[in-house]
Amino acid sequence: MEIVNHRLVDCGAVHLVCAKNMRKMVNPGMIVLHYTAGVSCMSSALYLIRPEVKASAHLVLGRKGEVVQLVPFNVEAWHAGRSEYAGVVGLNRCSIGIELDNLGRLDFREGRFVAECGVEVPPGEVYAEDVNGVVVYWHRYTECQKMVLRQVCRLLERCYPIRYIVGHSDVTSRKQDPGPELREFMRY
């Protein structure tokens, strides 16, 4: 896996065109991690490149290790929204957004784990977290997905002046992604 002309190569990445993103970004200093809350890697990527959708990301990483690049790393993507971290406001202009194919927080109803979009998640794919005596359920990330995320983050750190790897929930109180399971990737 390498970066050539601000795009991932030599990793089987699928490159889509997100024509709505055109503003250049110089020296991104942060990676912001997200979950898609969508039903698949490609459906989420195709949704994010639609011109009427006011969101995008640089990458979408699939549950089987698929890599889809929507925006070159030197172009601003719309993933952080109203955001602030380490004294910097408006993080879209200085950060790389990585979406992971994941259903996010789950409800436990009638003995089933159900995502906000209505998809049922098997118990083996559930991550449980105790929050002050209350169990909160999340869709688990796959080992393959975490391995690819680790590789991508290391490569981005070698090629750009990345100082922080944070979750979307770290940069705005409006969001809860990527959830507690990815804390090991965060570098504050």
pLDDT digits (tens, 9 = 90+) for 2-36: 999 999 999 999 999 999 999 999 889 999 999 99
134 assigned to some structural domain: no
128 assigned to some structural domain: no
CA 33 – CA 182 distance, rounded (Å): 9
130 assigned to some structural domain: no
94 assigned to some structural domain: yes
pLDDT of 86-97, one tens digit each? 999 999 999 999
122 assigned to some structural domain: no
46, 16 Cβ separation under 8 angstroms: yes
Residue 188 pLDDT more than 70? Answer: no
Q: Which two structure tokens, joined as six digits, stand for 62?
A: 């699939």
Domain that holds residue 65: 2-102+141-185
Domain harbouring 53, CATH code = 3.40.80.10
Q: Which two structure tokens, joined as six digits, stand for 97?
A: 């957004």
171 assigned to some structural domain: yes
The contacts of residue 53 (CB under 8 Å, 6+ apart) are 47
pLDDT of 127-147, one tens digit each? 999 999 999 999 999 999 999
Residue 187 pLDDT more than 90? Answer: no
116 assigned to some structural domain: no
Number of domains in the chain: 1
Residue 125 DSSP label? G
- The reported pTM is 0.96
119 assigned to some structural domain: no
* Averaged pLDDT score across all residues of the chain: 96
